[in-house]
Amino acid sequence: MSDFLTAFFALHHGLPRQGVGSDATTRRLLELAGPLPARPRALDLGCGPGRSALLLAAEAGARVTAVDLHQPFLTELAAAANRRGLTDSIHPVRASMADLPFRDGSFDVIWCEGAVYHIGFDTALRTWKRLLAPGGVLVVTECEWATDNPSGEARAFWAQVPLRDTAHNRAAAREAGYTVEAVFPLPDSDWFDEYYTPLSARLDQADPRDPAMAEAVAASRREIELRRRHGSEYQYTGYVLRREEDDRLRQRLAVPGSDLAASYPPHWLIDNAMGPNPLWLTETLAAAMTLTPGMRVLDLGCGKAITSIFLAREYGVQVWAADLWIDPTPNWERVRAASAADRVVPVKAEAHALPFAEGYFDAIVCVDAYEYFGTDERYLAYLSRFVRPGGQIGVSVPATVTEWDGDVPAHLRDYRDREFHTWHTPQWWRRHWAKTGQVEVERADLLPEAATHWRRWEEAVLAAGGDASEDVVRLLRADAGRTFSFARLIARRTG
Ligand SMILES: C[S@@+](CC[C@H](N)C(=O)[O-])C[C@H]1O[C@@H](n2cnc3c(N)ncnc32)[C@H](O)[C@@H]1O
């Protein structure tokens, strides 16, 4: 290593960060990256001493492969991981980000803060793509011009590492085969609080008699001074990028009018759904309910808690994610990987023995689960006790367009062993609820085009190799909306 580089590393050794950023920005980018799979496989490139690697492991539950060329950074990271009990989650690897020794498709998230310029944005995006698993996401921060007319001074400084602007980098990302899901300009404080400010203190203490050190100090001072004088002309920008092929699946799963649901990563949705597009069903419920930030919401029969994560992320509510078959531990891992740990509480609960105080919830939501216990005439009287008077209960259930008497309709006879004989019309549910005298039924309707959306979901999941049955697809095709649909039921507790 040259004397200059040795002096440069000595100046930077032990700083909180080795570049522009903050934990708050890492968290924000994680949130923008959308829900990651539980215990995501992460690759942190140019990890330095590992601020982001440690955060990904500690907060998102990631298993992080942390790559850097500079061994002392990796040693520092390993020590920090050890101190924080994260040794099993952080694997430091000394390698060049230009030549990565990993198999195709082996990461759910690739992370690179303030380091991509080492090999160049375009090369990085092109060569790293093969490492992303289906549904994987690439998060990268890059320095860019923030003005069309940078000063001569700024231009001269950045001549070594020519900057581009956001429009140019967006286009480059698309060119490299990604969809740009989010673009986030890092705040100016990310340059100073954990980087330039502590570095400045070091510069003041450095030994000016050592020529290499004097040169390193002068270079750092020029850089910091430029930021002070011309900081509005350039910025760091975070990009959240997904493989463009994933976008085709996302579009295939999208239900018109359910734009929030359609923005979620399709593989995550397919891997964790336990019935037809639960986010579509949740969004249609939420659209007809009053859900405001901070409300306490019970998500009953939450399955793998993706509806709870969606409610927390999109409506800012606090969710108790209760389920019987799915254990709260994997749900907690999913919640953490979805940046929702502060708003979702996973619990194991049986619908008839809820471990909550009466009147505790502002709302109860139940997506594609109420049919398992709610046809019992006594059930609503029990459940409604847990919502405060005036609070809402919103339920989405598979439903029928008409009630039938006697034997099942002729075109469904081949499918006799299915549960559909327990399904009902919205009118049936309205009467079933209204006669308890505990609630005012505000809505009991069929979701528009539900049979088509349901069939398209099953077909898409099947085509993507997910958990759908050909039998259900045949049933929905044979029925063609004559019998099956989805109902939305919303009531307010009166008593
Ligand atoms: C079809 S899955 C739907 C899960 C989730 N809402 C979704 O749409 O992905 C039905 C869920 O209802 C839950 N469930 C069924 N009976 C239950 C009961 N008695 N108490 C609590 N949960 C129950 C199951 O554990 C299961 O996760």
pLDDT of residue 414: 82
Looking at ligand 1, which atom is closest to the CA of residue 325? 25
Query: What tokens were used for 321?
Result: 């994610």
323 CA: nearest ligand 1 atom: 22
Query: Which residue is closest in CA terms to ligand 1's atom 14?
Result: 301
Which domains occur in the chain, in start order?
3-246 (3.40.50.150), 254-493 (3.40.50.150)
Q: At what angle do helices 197-205 and 3-12 cross, to 10 degrees?
A: 120
Centre of ligand 1 to C-alpha 470, Å, is: 22
Q: Ligand 1 pocket test: which of 297, 309, 323 has the largest number of ligand atoms within 8 Å of its C-beta?
A: 323
Q: Decide: residue 475, CB within 10 A, 0-12 exposed, 13-18 middle, 19+ buried.
A: buried
- By most ligand atoms within 8 Å of CB, the mutation choice from 319, 350, 354, 372 for ligand 1 is 372
Pocket test for ligand 1, best of 272, 274, 397, 419 (most atoms within 8 A of CB): 274
Cα of 108 from ligand 1 centre, angstroms:
27
303 Cα: distance to centroid of ligand 1 (angstroms): 5
In angstroms, the CA 349 to CA 356 distance is 10
Quote the ligand 1 centre to 302 CA distance (angstroms). 6
pLDDT at 2: 81
Q: How far apart are CA 365 and CA 319, in angstroms?
A: 10
CA 350/CA 324 separation, integer angstroms: 5
Determine the distance separating the centroid of ligand 1 and the alpha carbon of 322, expressed in angstroms: 9
Measured from the Cα of 273, ligand 1's closest atom is: 9
Token reading at 119: 């090999």
Which secondary structure element, helix H or strand E, spans residue 239, and what is its range? strand 234-243
Strands lying side by side in the sheet with 439-446 = 344-348, 318-323, 296-300, 361-367, 387-400, 484-493, 439-446
The residue whose CB lies within 8 Å of the most ligand 1 atoms, and thus the one to mutate among 269, 368, 370, 454, is: 368
Q: What is the identity of the amino acid at 167?
A: A
DSSP string, 440-469: EEEEEEEPTTHHHHHHHHHHHHHHTT-S--
Specify the pLDDT at position 413. Answer: 85
Q: Whose CA is nearest to atom 4 of ligand 1?
A: 303
The Cα 217–Cα 364 span in angstroms is 60
The pTM for the full model equals: 0.93
Report which protein residue has its CA nearest ligand 1's atom 8. Answer: 278
What is the pLDDT at residue 416?
67
* Ligand 1 midpoint to CA 369 (Å): 5
Contact 22, 50 (CB under 8 A): no
If you take atom 2 of ligand 1, which residue's CA is the nearest one? Answer: 274
| pLDDT, position 8 | 86
pLDDT of residue 9: 85
305 Cα: distance to centroid of ligand 1 (angstroms)? 10
**What one-character-per-residue DSSP string does 416-427 give?**
TTSGGGG-B-HH
Residue 133: enclosing H or E segment and its boundaries?
Answer: strand 132-145
Q: How far is CA 483 from CA 277, 375, 449, in A?
A: 19, 19, 12
Q: What is the pLDDT of residue 357?
A: 98
Cα separation, 461 vs 454, in Å, equals: 11
The CA-atom distances, in angstroms, between 324 and each of 367, 385, 480 are 14, 20, 32
Ligand 1: distance of its center to the CA of 382 in Å?
A: 17
- Specify the long-range contacts of residues 406-411, CB closer than 8 Å, at least 24 apart: 409/482, 409/483, 411/478, 411/479, 411/482
The two three-digit tokens of residue 352, written as one number: 């008839």
Cα 245 to middle of ligand 1, angstroms: 31
Pocket of ligand 1 (CB under 6 A): 273-275, 278, 301-303, 307, 323-326, 349-351, 367-369, 372-373
The pLDDT value given to residue 417: 65
> Rounded to an integer, what distance in angstroms lies between the CA atom of residue 101 and that of residue 296?
47
Span from the CA of 347 to the centroid of ligand 1 (angstroms): 13
CA of 31 to the centre of ligand 1 (A): 27
Ligand 1 binding pocket mutation candidate from 271, 324, 382 (most atoms within 8 A of CB): 324
The tens-digit pLDDT sequence of the chain (495 residues) is 688 888 888 888 888 899 999 999 999 999 999 999 999 999 999 999 999 999 999 999 999 999 999 999 999 999 999 999 999 999 999 999 999 999 999 999 999 999 999 999 999 999 999 999 999 999 999 999 999 999 999 999 999 888 999 999 999 999 999 999 999 999 999 999 999 999 999 999 988 899 999 999 999 999 999 999 999 999 999 999 999 999 999 999 999 999 999 999 999 999 999 999 999 999 999 999 999 999 999 999 999 999 999 999 999 999 999 999 999 999 999 999 999 999 999 999 999 999 999 999 999 999 999 999 999 999 999 999 999 999 999 999 999 999 988 888 888 888 766 788 889 999 999 999 999 999 999 999 999 999 999 999 999 999 998 888 888 899 999 999 999 999 999 999 997
Which amino acid does the sequence have at 49? Answer: P
